A and B are shown apart, each in its own frame.
Chain A
């Protein structure tokens, strides 16, 4: 799996957009970008994933650069409950053992009132 680089921590004001960057400069053409988050002492929660195009769902938006070497997760209106560690992962599809998710250190997002 490609290595990803994320800032260790970020703060965001409640109600504002949170923009979390991720660098994955060695991503391969068949690797997807996934975002998960982990609230303290819980299992990771899936947020969103994409290959080339920007994606949006009820939780967040994912913006992937044209060269696919970086991406940004956007939480449009952050709430206190969005305080968590956010992980950016790149991996191939899970057909074989190659499709495993390797977690880096993630970004600790703190949403402040």
Chain B
């Protein structure tokens, strides 16, 4: 079945970087954009950006530009999201999500989430 499986929880110190992986299976990885969405405690879902696995093009929300890098490895159908210069405000669950269609920007399959805790 179509699924996205993410890497495990991370604990990082302020100023560090974190890299979360998202392995896709059950569909043609390069055919659909992968988006990243996060949810901080008690907050709404927040879209971070997308990567086109076919072209490697990316588009990041303004808030994260300069601090986020989305990449992919088509040989293992895996997308990555790296966030640098972490602060406590980056403590959140990070999700990858598959685009429903040809850049619909609607998310039909989500990963299980990766908890990232930033603490000194």
Q: Do A and B bind each other?
A: no
